[in-house]
Amino acid sequence: MADGYSGPVRILDTNGILLTVGTVDLTPEEGGSWGGKLRVFDNTGVAGKALRVGLVIPDGPTVTAQLDPHSVDGEFAISEVFGVGPAPF
């Protein structure tokens, strides 16, 4: 398994419709799971919401993740990312 991924990501709803874009920092965790932090503009479709979404990494697979609201930093909303299934890296 790679060390993780840090960079741009597209966020899709469960029907594959684009909700927003952002940046993500993902790392492998113990037991084969993965997770990290997602940063999107505040007041977008995923800001401040707990959602199950698809994350699309450029030139990579679409993977499922659970988002949990964490904080707001200026104009950005930060969410915790909990991977569901295989890691995208």
Separation of alpha carbons 62 and 11, rounded Å: 9
User: By the 8 A CB rule, do 67 and 50 touch?
Assistant: yes
CATH dotted code for 5-84:
2.40.10
Q: Lowest mean pLDDT of 61-65, 79-83, 85-89, name the range.
A: 85-89
Does residue 82 carry a pLDDT above 60? yes
Q: Beta-strand (E) ranges in the chain?
A: 5-12, 18-28, 34-41, 51-56, 62-73, 76-84
Specify the pTM.
0.91
Residue 1 has pLDDT above 80, yes or no: no
- Of 2, 83, 84, 79, the residue nearest 35 (C-alpha): 83
